[in-house]
Amino acid sequence: MQTRALGRSGLDVSAIGLGCMGLSHGYGHPVSKEEGIALIRGAVERGVTFFDTAEFYGPFTNEELVGEALAPVRDRVVIATKFGFRITEGNVPRGMDSRPAHIREVADASLKRLQTDVIDLFYQHRVDPDVPIEDVAGTVGELIREGKVRHFGLSEANAETIRRAHAVQPVAALQSEYSMWWREPETSVFPTLDELGIGFVPFSPLGRGFLTGAIDANTKFEADDFRNNFPRFAPEALAANQALVDLIGGIAARKNVTRAQVALAWVLAQRPWIVPIPGTTKLHRLEENIAAAQVQLTAEDLREIETALSQVEVQGARYPEQMQRLVNR
């Protein structure tokens, strides 16, 4: 597995990481602990060194799973987790909370669940409008000086917020959604990341599964799969967006690779400081995703893709209105 540097932070990781959320949260019934541990350790065996989790996933159970799975190889991997939500009794998320005292509480609890003495990358999960970002950055900076955290990250933050945070405590990475069907970060934050030397970690680089070709207008999700509530996954939007999947399929067939591999290779080709974190629950999909790091898209391929993408108007908002209010602050 090739490695990449997340900006100028000194944090080097595998070119493709593993988003662990879907093992416990969001996409229907969680996998068993045994299945989750096997998949995560299988990723390590295949060269993945970058693993993404959060207290919110579960809540809490995903961190516990990741911690147990990676404990035997802790010195070989980079673990990213997140703070920023208030999770009440009964493990129910109730809004944002990035108050300094709460950040410290989350850090200590996450360290225990992850079975480690340091968090490699600690993201603010979503920007809290009630807490100045300078206070957030300063608190994580204190945790870094205390040895509990190595690097500070933000998620779904806008350029102004990134700059304000970076002025207090250098931001190692921004994590936001990015793929062939959500390219907004290219104009909103890429110039800032490039200027400041901040890495970018795209989640959902496969469009929550849609870009693989495995989902169409007739797909039925499990009742607790959050895609049921996303406008972009309404049947009419899926049907309209099929043109994008067909485009990827044509390129994949010509290069004798899969749609997923083309979609990931495209993300990797956009900047050298981008490290996508596709998630999966299946070992063969993990292997497919990892192999995308070896797919070479030529300048001609990229021009062809760019031309074709410019002719496809993606339908449907990526989030319901309430969730959309939590991004790009």
Pull the structure tokens for residue 180.
């062939």
For 35, other C-beta atoms within 10 Å of its C-beta total 15
* 178 catalytically annotated: no
Cβ atoms of residues 122 and 140 within 8 Å: yes
Of 289, 285, 320, 325, residue with least CA distance to 15: 289
Length of the chain: 329
**CB neighbour list of residue 232: distance below 8 Å, 6 or more residues apart:** 181, 210, 238, 241, 314, 315, 316, 317, 318
Any idea which residue has 């300063």 for tokens?
138
Cβ atoms of residues 104 and 146 within 8 Å: no
Tell me, what amino acid is at 214?
A
**CB neighbour list of residue 181: distance below 8 Å, 6 or more residues apart:** 207, 210, 211, 232, 241, 244, 314
Pull the structure tokens for residue 251.
């390129």
Q: Which of these is catalytic: 57, 123, 178, 319?
A: 57
Residues tagged active-site: 57
